[in-house]
Each structure stands twice: as structure tokens, then as C-alpha cells.
Structure 1
Amino acid sequence: MIHMVTGKINSGKTTRMLNMYRNIGRGDGYVSIKHMKDDQVHSYELMRLTTKEKRLLVLREDYLSDDWVEGCKIGPYSFSKNALDDVHNTMLSLLEQKISPLFLDEVGQLELQGKAFYRTFKQLVKKADELYVTVREDNIQDIVQTFELHIKGYDIIT
């Protein structure tokens, strides 16, 4: 079963998913922590749920360093190729270990274009027994259709 935690931008999807993880008391995965500088988004860090380990995932282009390796980009935001690869490998390992449920924050426009967490999400949809994923409400129908979520079964948590 795939549980889509949904809402508008900045509506608390990540916080709700983090609370679900705590209430369930098992599983593993990642949430994205937003960091602001003045009135704009500076970056997002991924936090692994079981270890609380954090890793830089997204950086606004104004702050990129020479050693940054870009995996993809949307607007002024660059996604770390290394972080995307690490998440993919970790999530595949969790699948192999039969860890459940799994959590991924967030799936949206980039995944619909075959970028960012696309390959990871595709494997999770195919192989995970139970998956919690955040999705903006305006992307729900496209995500359901593109990833054929009706086959596995899904619900929407608002």
C-alpha cells in the first residue's frame, strides 16, 4: 500500500510524515528539512529517520560551490547527484532487508520528468510492502497515473 501524505506547498506535509513515523515506531527512510536565509529557501537537507543523519540534497544556485556535483535542477534549485545516488542505494538496501514501512519526502514534478527520486520511487512502488510518500496535492493525479499506483493500491492522507 502506498500512502500519499498531501497538501499545498508549505502546508506541513513533512512534519505530518515525521509524526507518522514516530507514531508507527518502525520503518526507515528520509524526510527533507528546509533551511531559509532571509525570506527565501537556501537549501534542503535529507534526514534519515532511524539515524537522524543529515545530508545536503538541494542548494539554491546562488550558493553553489565549485565541488558541487549537480544531478538535476528545477528553477534556481540544484540537486546533489551524490545525495540522490546515496538515497537510491540506501532505499534499495532497506527493501532488501525487508524494512517496512518506508518513507520518502517528496515526490513531484522532477520525478514526473524522470529526474531526482524517479528511479528510487519506481523501485519503491514496485517492491515496498508499505510506503509513505509526500506529494503536493496538485501532483497527485499525475503521480498516480505515471507510476500506476492503482495497481498496488494507494490512499491519500490530507
Structure 2
Amino acid sequence: MKNIYILTGKIQSGKTTKLVDWAANRTGVYGILSPVILGKKHLTDLKSGESKQLEVNDSERGGSIINIGHYRFDKDVFKWGRDRMLESIGYNPEWFIVDEIGPLEFRGEGLEPAFREILIRSELLYDTKLVLVIREGLTDSVLDHFRIPKSSIKEFTFE
């Protein structure tokens, strides 16, 4: 695994907002971002710009729901995000962002199993730089869980 960059920070610290701005000024940036839009988490496909509301209220029904902490997420939107990820990596982009990897993926939910497939494919995509957004304090757990060698990791900077 080469060209893996980690962006880490606290919850709601602006990681995604900075990535949105960074990606807007570049071509060849694909993947999935999870911005908060109008107070709700969404998934946004960087290739198409399409966005879907991921976070749902207790009163909102329809589709299957994943609960984690005080969040309720729509499983169908995660499936959509996984499909977009697997489609987009096939274009051999210069940059590929996965926002974010954490407890749901440890349970095989959220962006899994697409994330693991992206890791496997990244072995073959020598020019693609993979950016992983990981909540502060979870980096070692993510690296261990997905067997990503620490020696292959670089810190992502907005340059």
C-alpha cells in the first residue's frame, strides 16, 4: 500500500469543510465526503457532485436505519456511497478521498466492504493517492483493523 494519506482531527473540527475547499480547486479528485448540510450529515460523490442525506431523525422512516451513538443513518445512502466509491476508483484518479472511516466500518457497516476493496485496488493504482479521514484517537485502530502498515502512511496537508 503506497500513497496513503491520513487526515485526522476532532469531531466537527472542519476536516470535511477543508477537504471540500481543497478538492474544489483540483481536478482528478474522486471519492466520498461526508459534509453536514443544513444540520444533517450527507454523503457527497466528488466525481458527480451528487449529495444524499445520510442522517435521519427519529421521526423519519423509510429504508433501513443504522444507529451509532446518537446518530441514525440511512443504510440505503451508505449503499449508494459504496457504489459510487467502487465506480470512481475505476477511473484511476489522482486523489481518492474516503470520509470517514471509524466504528461503523469496524462493524462491517457504513462504507464497508467498499473501503476494504478500495484498499485492495490501491495496491494496483500506483499513481492514486488515497486520503483517509479518521476521527482523532482512532487512527491506530483503523490501521490495525484494516492491516494498513504504519510505514505506508503519510500525513495529509492542504498544499
TM-score using structure 1 length: 0.82
Secondary structure (helix, strand or coil) at the match of 1:89 reads: helix
* 8 Å contact from structure 2 (residues 45, 51) kept in 1: yes
* 8 Å contact from structure 1 (residues 2, 149) kept in 2: no
Secondary structure (helix, strand or coil) at the match of 2:8 reads: strand
19, 28, 31: which one pairs with 2:30? 28
Alpha-carbon displacement from aligned partner over 1:65-104 (angstroms, at most 9, x marks no partner): 2x2322x220232222211111112211122232332112
| Alpha-carbon distance between aligned partners in 1 of 2:37 and 2:141, rounded to the nearest angstrom | 28
Provide the residue aligned with 1:142 in structure 2: 141
Provide the residue aligned with 2:154 in structure 1: 155
Identity in percent: 25
Alpha-carbon displacement from aligned partner over 1:98-151 (angstroms, at most 9, x marks no partner): 233211211111112222112121111121332112111110000011111117
Name stretches of at least 5 consecutive residues in structure 2 with no aligned partner. 123-127
* 8 Å contact from structure 2 (residues 47, 88) kept in 1: no
Q: Which runs of 4+ in 1 moved over 3 A?
A: none
Secondary structure (helix, strand or coil) at the match of 1:118 reads: coil
Aligned residues between the structures: 150
69, 74, 85: which one pairs with 2:79? 85
| Alpha-carbon distance between aligned partners in 1 of 2:150 and 2:117, rounded to the nearest angstrom | 14
Q: What is the root-mean-square deviation in Å for CA atoms of aligned residues?
A: 2.1
66, 90, 94: which one pairs with 1:100? 94
Is residue 49 from structure 1 mapped to residue 36 from structure 2 by the alignment? Answer: no
Offset at residue 152 of structure 1 (A): 8.0
Offset at residue 35 of structure 1 (A): 4.3
Offset at residue 20 of structure 1 (A): 3.0
Is residue 68 from structure 1 mapped to residue 63 from structure 2 by the alignment? Answer: yes
- Between Structure 1 and Structure 2, the one with more strand by share is 1
* 8 Å contact from structure 2 (residues 4, 129) kept in 1: yes
* 8 Å contact from structure 2 (residues 6, 153) kept in 1: yes
Name stretches of at least 5 consecutive residues in structure 1 with no aligned partner. 37-41
Using a 3 Å threshold, how does the CA distance of structure 1 residues 55 and 119 change in structure 2: closer, same or farther? same
